[in-house]
Amino acid sequence: MHKLALIPLVTLLACGNTGNARPIAVATPAAGSTQTRDEMLPARTLRCTLGHALNIDVSKFQTTQEIKYEGAHSFALFLPAVPKLAVAPDPTDAAEPVNPATRIIDDPDGLAHDMVPSFTRVVDLWPQRVEMIGAIAGEPSVRLIIISEIDLAKGTANLFTSPARDAASLDLKKIYQGSCKVEVGPELS
């Protein structure tokens, strides 16, 4: 049973653009104590079909069966090969450089049209989850992407995306979620 837990996402959010809030707690360390030097995560392409969530209630834990969806939007994302993290970075750590190959490669319906081309923070904890942040042009908001429910045997994952300003302001009118087919390798140019 798939579950959408928006309440735990609140721990990921706290934009530095809103007064005294802390920076969003997502990062991809380039080199340092949180990465292993010996093991690399492979390049991954996620080809997703996302639905617009219509009845999100942040006051409760909802299963995907309880959420009503509208539409079927294609969305594809590329995650390059990166060193495997030994531990998740501390949420208060400053963002480390993101591999510039990390990108949205297909978004025909413009779900992330407002995002600047490159991601500003990524925590790649594959196969547990991947947390991504991209700045929204001209806004104090960011685009949040969470990849979870990764099933290596089936080659599937779940993707959630929404604009967010801080821990209290996911844009409930612009939440999209759906399933992805995961293709491992090769690197994209």
pLDDT digits (tens, 9 = 90+) for 63-73: 878 999 999 99
Is 47's pLDDT higher than 90?
yes
Hey, which residues does 121 pair with through a beta bridge?
A: 133
- Tell me the residue ranges of DSSP E strands in 12-153: 35-41, 44-53, 62-63, 69-79, 82-85, 103-106, 121-125, 129-135, 142-151
Rounded CA separation 76/57 (Å): 27
Segments making up each domain of the chain, as ranges: 3-31+40-184
Report yes or no: 175 and 53 within 8 Å, Cβ to Cβ: yes
pLDDT band at residue 109 using 50, 70 and 90 as cut-offs: very high
Lowest mean pLDDT among 21-25, 41-45, 118-122, 128-132: 21-25
Lowest mean pLDDT among 29-33, 42-46, 76-80: 29-33
Res 34: pLDDT: 52
Task: Show the CA angle centred on residue 66, arms to residues 64 and 26, nearest 5°.
Answer: 40
Helices (H), 46-106: none
- Token look-up 């750590």 returns 93
* pTM across the whole model: 0.79
pLDDT digits (tens, 9 = 90+) for 52-63: 999 988 888 888
Rounded CA separation 83/162 (Å): 27
Closest by Cα among 71, 4, 81 to 35: 81
Report yes or no: 118 and 134 within 8 Å, Cβ to Cβ: yes
Task: Show the CA angle centred on residue 48, arms to residues 46 and 50, nearest 5°.
Answer: 145
